[in-house]
A and B are shown apart, each in its own frame.
Chain A
Amino acid sequence: MRKLKGKSIVANPYIYAMTLAVYCSSWTFYGSVGEVTNTGFKFITIYIGPTLTAFAWGFILRKMIRITKENNITSIADFLSSRYGKCSYLGAQVTTFAIIGIMPYIALQLKSISTTFELLTHPELRPGMQTIAGNAATNFHNHPFYLETAFYISLVLALFGALFGARHLDASEKHEGMVAAIALESIVKLVAFLIVGLFVTYGIFDGFKDILTQIHNHDLYKNLLLINTSPSNSYQSWFTLVILSMAAIMFLPRQFHMAVIENQSEKHIKKAMYLFPLYLFLINLFVAPIAFGGLLEIGGPSSIADTYVLTLPLLHSQHSLSVLAFIGGLSAATGMVVVSSVTLSTMLLNNLVMPLLLFLKIKADLSSWLIHLKRLGILLIILLGYLFFRIIGDSYMLVNMGLISFSAAIQTAPALIGGLYWKKGTRHGAMVGLSFGFLFWFYTLMIPSFVYSGWLPGSILLNGPFNIWWLNPIELFGLSGFDFFSHSLFWSLSSNIMAYLAVSLIGKQDEICLRQAARFVDVFKPRIDRFMQEKRYANFPALSELEMMMARFIGKDKAHLVFVDFFATEDYTDKLSEMNDQKRMQLAAEVEKSIAGSVGSSAARIICDTYMKALGSEMENVFDIFGKISLSLEASQEELQQRIKELSVLYEASRIVASSLDPKQVMNDLLDLLVDKFNVDNCSVRLIEHDGMLRIKAQRGLRPEFVKTAERQPNMECYSGECFLTGKVIHVPDTDKINKSISTNLMTGQGIKSFVQSPIFSEQEIIGVLSASSMKEKGYFSDKFIDLFQTLAQQLGVAIGTARLYDQLARFSKELEVKVAERTIELERKSLELSQANKDLKELDRLKSEFLANMSHELRTPMNSIIGYTQLLIDGIDGAINEDQKVSLETVERNANNLLALINDILDLSKIEAGKMTISLSPISLDAVIDETLNTLNPLFENKKQHFYLEKEDNLPLVIGDAEKLRQILINLLNNAIKFTNIDGCISLKAGLLAGKPPAGLDPKKRYVSVSVEDSGIGIKPENLERLFGEFVQLDASASRKYGGTGLGLSITKRLVEMHHGIIQVSSHYGKGSIFSFFIPIYTQTDTLQVKETVKK
């Protein structure tokens, strides 16, 4: 019930340590005592060996337990078979050897029980009755087996075994009933032995000292206090026994079972590591006193010494104590036989019977059969032990019989330890190694046993079989001088190890063996099961079929439970379609593991493989594209780590370089980095300066006086100079060997032992040297560091170069600013001068215009007088004149008029330019202006007989203008037209509202009236159009003479139009005529009426 709840009563370290004490069988209980009387303290090696092994439990035992749990391993044979590729042959081999190897050991237990039983039930056999146990034993074998005590003891023990170890089939091969019983028997045997020991030591004798002193003073037994007194207790045999017992505690099938298979928690190991040796210590504490006491009290040959534990109390009539001793001995023997038989039966079933049944293709439901087979196995094992007892039971002492088994058990050690720590160990290596070991064991130990028991002729041990001396089982190949067990151990173990190693190294492992090797050796490493990822099942069976198959081996309920556990749900029948390849692989592995718990790993593998194959479901490879990549990554992981470190330094250096534009700071930070990360003792940056000197600009760890002396022009007599001049990295691993005079003094002065220097480049040019040195050791700088150092120097070069460029740029920028400022001041000054000159010019211009205006005015007055008086003379008012006089006077008058017109024009222009011309702008009608003008000019048209046309829109809007000035404009334009148009030519005047966009120069928001004068006159050359409106312009001197005029008319007209906020345009076709148009704004209500405006030019 406790077990079902998940917490077992036996699951604690104390019980675990007690169950390990199954090691102490009747050999310990009786045999050790007998051994003392023969070889002294040699017996103690059998118990100190396991104590030594306990030191290693923390890793070996823990590893074995972890592997066992992960693989559902059921026995030591299963462990080995599973490790070496779940190989059923290896499992069968180990099982066979183990059964043969254990026979003497079981025989030993049967012998001890029957002997002590006879002693208790037959008083005549007891010491003091003048007979010896040895004789009694001899007598036993005269009976047929059914009259022999040992036979019935065997049957009872088999029943015990079946009861405790084969009540039901357990998938994990854990037997809690058996564990509890073994723990109990361990306590019983310890208590019984301690009580007998105390009785003998303090009851019969007066304590340890008394017994030991008596033995020491006893001539016959004195030697028992020492070893190496006879071949049987030589140092060599002592060593052999230590080795044997060290291995036995781990590799005897029953010890493996109790320590590994029955272990409930890895945590229990730690306590067991000292509790179990302590148990051994206690149970052996009284072995010597009892043995010595027996010798002193009873004496006699060592064969009866085996029973001193029993006979000493009997001799002192302590019957109850002797019964207690018997119970102790019985429980020790029973415990050993039960556990051994159960363990070996499991091995027999899983590694021999099951593969055989599978080989024979028996298809019955095996789950109900298995338990019976197991019980049968237990009986068989014990009966085999009995058989051995019958054959050679008399010829050996208990201890020797046990040691034969120990020697067999140690043969699994090479394959097992190799399997735990050496991946290259192969199946064939293990099988061949084991075969060699077992063969030598059998030949050197079992054959002599048969000889001693009389089965084989004694001559074999004297002259060798068939008189071949070098085949003598106890002096094989002539190896003499060894005791029995050392001789055997040497040959068996050395051949075993050599064969295992050699065959493993020669052979190759298959896939499953490789996978298992990795699973075992790397059990504590987190790992991805590559096998699971690289394989998949084609045609996976239905889940119900798989469950049915499992049920055949482990029963329906357990099979169901495995599936429920795997899917974490009761309803898993439809889950197959949801499972991916990997999940299917996992389920298959789980099924195999569960079956392995019942039938062992090799059988389970055969079962599952055959089943899957029968269904046409085979494993196939999954193509893994990344397989090779990850492998190569693994190989260079160390390299990658190194690279990451380098990159981190470079990253830091780049950060420094990028973080500042101050070369001083960059240098300092970079030197700090060198000191921090690489622990260099001193480092410096030298830079070349304008005066050609190489100077230390930044440094760490250098003495000030060195910094001063280090300043020099680069030359080949020092390393920094050489580095600078050649541009090569210089690495000096040992400063004792330098040959440059300057450097030698400096280096030794500083105590530098090794250094490295790298040139600093900036834009292909060497600008300095970066140095680092160590005062700690020679050869401080590795090649990898030097590469990195060079890169750092390059970075420094870039940083200094950038900083210098930036510096230069800043300087240029400053100079430019100064120049710009100077220019600006100059320009301002010049601009001032210009504006002053402009002002002066304007003033001069104004003065000129004023002068002209005044002059014109002053000229006009006399001119009027001249004209007036000339007119009077012509008219004859002052007296008659003749015709010649009249012509002359008319010429005077005409020229005077021309002169006056000229003066008027000049006056007008001057007024305009002097800003003295005033116009009064008001809304006026253009119609009236045009009419008046035409009236004035009509006679002129008629004179020249020219055709005049007027095209005027009706209802012209009012314009803002000065009527008189507008008239002047029109007169000027029409006068020009008349003047330059021949007789009979055409002149037209057009006036109308300007449609569309006003021409450039006018306000586009306003509306304008357009007035144009068109003639068919001489026209104007295109190149002259531009200067047409200039002052005093007569385009052609001859024309001036022909047509007359001052050349000021158009200039004045233009100024007048502009005073009206308008513009004047001209277009002409040379030789055909011209069109003069002007535009002036119309009056609108929104206009602010300027009654009077003075316009200044």
Chain B
Amino acid sequence: MKRKMRILYKREWWVIFFILGFFFINYPIIHIFNKDFIIFGYPIFFLYLIMGWFCSIMVIFIYAWISEHRL
């Protein structure tokens, strides 16, 4: 388990997530969610932005936490 965690220390992961985030927040990916569609009572675009944003914060949190605690 610890070995697997160590793989995540690599700086390249940050670059990958950075690029992934950039793609997810831009056209054409957002075009997929930019629809007049209600899901669980919420507009899908609103949900996508809020959830996506929160998830990316969680990703940073997890990685920062791992590298801080040196699992």
The answer, among B18, B27, B56, B67, for a CB contact under 8 Å with A239, is B27
Closest residue of chain B to A223, judged by CB? B36
Docked-complex contact B43 and A212, CB < 8 angstroms: yes
CA distance A51 to B41 in the complex (A): 27
Docked-complex contact B56 and A59, CB < 8 angstroms: no
Instruction: Report the number of A-B residue pairs with Cβ-Cβ less than 8 Å.
Output: 96
Docked-complex contact A54 and B49, CB < 8 angstroms: no
How does the 8 Å CB contact mask read for B9-33 relative to A, with 1 for contact and 0 for none? 0010011011001100111001100
Docked-complex contact A41 and B45, CB < 8 angstroms: yes
User: Does A208 count as interface, using CB distance less than 8 angstroms?
Assistant: yes
A residues in contact with B46, CB < 8 Å? 41, 212, 225, 288
A525 to chain B, nearest CB (A): 15
Docked-complex contact B57 and A277, CB < 8 angstroms: yes
A residues in contact with B42, CB < 8 Å? 208-209, 212
Docked-complex contact B14 and A59, CB < 8 angstroms: yes
Docked-complex contact B36 and A51, CB < 8 angstroms: no
User: Does A785 count as interface, using CB distance less than 8 angstroms?
Assistant: no
Docked-complex contact A227 and B25, CB < 8 angstroms: no
How does the 8 Å CB contact mask read for A464-478 relative to B, with 1 for contact and 0 for none? 000000000000000
B residues in contact with A271, CB < 8 Å? 64, 68
User: Does A579 count as interface, using CB distance less than 8 angstroms?
Assistant: no
B66 to chain A, nearest CB (A): 10
B residues in contact with A270, CB < 8 Å? 64, 67-68
CA distance A235 to B32 in the complex (A): 12
Docked-complex contact B11 and A59, CB < 8 angstroms: yes
B residues in contact with A55, CB < 8 Å? 14-15, 17-18, 21, 60
CA distance A45 to B24 in the complex (A): 12
Closest residue of chain A to B40, judged by CB? A209
CA distance A619 to B18 in the complex (A): 46
A residues in contact with B68, CB < 8 Å? 270-271
Closest residue of chain A to B17, judged by CB? A55
Give the total of B residues in contact with A, Cβ under 8 Å.
Answer: 33
B residues in contact with A202, CB < 8 Å? none
A237 to chain B, nearest CB (A): 11
Docked-complex contact A273 and B60, CB < 8 angstroms: yes
User: Does A216 count as interface, using CB distance less than 8 angstroms?
Assistant: yes
B residues in contact with A274, CB < 8 Å? 57-58, 60-61, 64
CA distance A238 to B36 in the complex (A): 18
A residues in contact with B26, CB < 8 Å? 235, 238-239, 242
B29 to chain A, nearest CB (A): 11
Closest residue of chain A to B36, judged by CB? A226
B residues in contact with A273, CB < 8 Å? 60, 64
CA distance A226 to B37 in the complex (A): 10
The answer, among B11, B36, B49, B56, for a CB contact under 8 Å with A277, is B56
- Beyond A41-B46, A226-B36, is A52–B25 a contact (Cβ under 8 Å)? yes
Docked-complex contact B57 and A278, CB < 8 angstroms: yes
Docked-complex contact A227 and B30, CB < 8 angstroms: yes
How does the 8 Å CB contact mask read for A171-201 relative to B, with 1 for contact and 0 for none? 0000000000000000000000000000000
- Beyond A56-B18, A225-B36, A239-B27, is A213–B53 a contact (Cβ under 8 Å)? no
User: Does A567 count as interface, using CB distance less than 8 angstroms?
Assistant: no
Closest residue of chain A to B41, judged by CB? A209
User: Does A48 count as interface, using CB distance less than 8 angstroms?
Assistant: yes
B residues in contact with A226, CB < 8 Å? 34-36, 43, 45
A523 to chain B, nearest CB (A): 16
A residues in contact with B34, CB < 8 Å? 226-228
Give the total of A residues in contact with B, Cβ under 8 Å.
Answer: 36
A residues in contact with B36, CB < 8 Å? 222, 225-226
How does the 8 Å CB contact mask read for A968-1006 relative to B, with 1 for contact and 0 for none? 000000000000000000000000000000000000000
Docked-complex contact A41 and B21, CB < 8 angstroms: no
CA distance A239 to B11 in the complex (A): 26
Q: Which of A206-258 contact B (CB under 8 A)?
A: 208-209, 212-213, 216, 222, 225-228, 235-236, 238-239, 242
B40 to chain A, nearest CB (A): 8
User: Does A572 count as interface, using CB distance less than 8 angstroms?
Assistant: no
B18 to chain A, nearest CB (A): 4
Docked-complex contact A44 and B41, CB < 8 angstroms: no
User: Does A58 count as interface, using CB distance less than 8 angstroms?
Assistant: yes
The answer, among A41, A59, A208, A242, for a CB contact under 8 Å with B22, is A242
Closest residue of chain B to A210, judged by CB? B41
CA distance A734 to B34 in the complex (A): 57
B residues in contact with A213, CB < 8 Å? 38, 41
CA distance A392 to B49 in the complex (A): 33
B17 to chain A, nearest CB (A): 5
User: Does A281 count as interface, using CB distance less than 8 angstroms?
Assistant: yes
The answer, among B30, B45, B50, B67, for a CB contact under 8 Å with A225, is B45
The answer, among A59, A216, A235, for a CB contact under 8 Å with B27, is A235
Docked-complex contact B60 and A281, CB < 8 angstroms: no
Closest residue of chain B to A288, judged by CB? B46
CA distance A242 to B29 in the complex (A): 14
CA distance A44 to B31 in the complex (A): 16
CA distance A54 to B15 in the complex (A): 11
A124 to chain B, nearest CB (A): 36
CA distance A52 to B26 in the complex (A): 12
B residues in contact with A209, CB < 8 Å? 41-42
Closest residue of chain B to A272, judged by CB? B64
The answer, among A44, A56, A59, for a CB contact under 8 Å with B49, is A44
B residues in contact with A44, CB < 8 Å? 49, 53
How does the 8 Å CB contact mask read for A60-89 relative to B, with 1 for contact and 0 for none? 000000000000000000000000000000
CA distance A222 to B35 in the complex (A): 12
Docked-complex contact B18 and A52, CB < 8 angstroms: yes
A621 to chain B, nearest CB (A): 39
A residues in contact with B22, CB < 8 Å? 52, 242
How does the 8 Å CB contact mask read for A252-296 relative to B, with 1 for contact and 0 for none? 000000000000000000110110011001000100100000000
A residues in contact with B31, CB < 8 Å? 228, 235
B residues in contact with A281, CB < 8 Å? 53-54, 57
Closest residue of chain B to A209, judged by CB? B41
B residues in contact with A216, CB < 8 Å? 38, 43
Docked-complex contact B45 and A48, CB < 8 angstroms: no
CA distance A238 to B68 in the complex (A): 34
A414 to chain B, nearest CB (A): 18
B residues in contact with A222, CB < 8 Å? 36
CA distance A281 to B58 in the complex (A): 12
Closest residue of chain A to B21, judged by CB? A52
CA distance A271 to B26 in the complex (A): 26
B residues in contact with A56, CB < 8 Å? 14-15, 18
CA distance A281 to B15 in the complex (A): 22
Closest residue of chain B to A215, judged by CB? B43
A280 to chain B, nearest CB (A): 9
A406 to chain B, nearest CB (A): 17
B39 to chain A, nearest CB (A): 11
Closest residue of chain A to B54, judged by CB? A281
B19 to chain A, nearest CB (A): 9
Docked-complex contact B53 and A48, CB < 8 angstroms: yes
- Beyond A216-B38, A235-B31, is A51–B45 a contact (Cβ under 8 Å)? no
Docked-complex contact A238 and B45, CB < 8 angstroms: no
A residues in contact with B53, CB < 8 Å? 44, 47-48, 51, 277, 281
Top 10 closest pairs, chain A to chain B, by CB: A235-B27, A55-B18, A274-B61, A274-B60, A225-B43, A270-B64, A209-B41, A52-B21, A277-B57, A273-B60
A interface residues, Cβ below 8 angstroms from B: 41, 44-45, 47-48, 51-52, 54-56, 58-59, 208-209, 212-213, 216, 222, 225-228, 235-236, 238-239, 242, 270-271, 273-274, 277-278, 281, 285, 288
Beyond A226-B35, A277-B60, 5 additional contacts (C-beta under 8 Å) are: A52-B21, A225-B45, A239-B26, A271-B68, A278-B57
Query: Can you offer 30 A-B residue contacts whose CB atoms are under 8 A?
Result: A41-B46, A48-B25, A51-B57, A51-B60, A52-B25, A54-B60, A55-B14, A56-B18, A58-B14, A209-B42, A213-B38, A213-B41, A222-B36, A226-B43, A227-B45, A228-B31, A235-B30, A236-B27, A238-B26, A238-B27, A238-B30, A239-B27, A242-B25, A270-B67, A271-B68, A273-B60, A274-B57, A274-B64, A278-B57, A285-B50
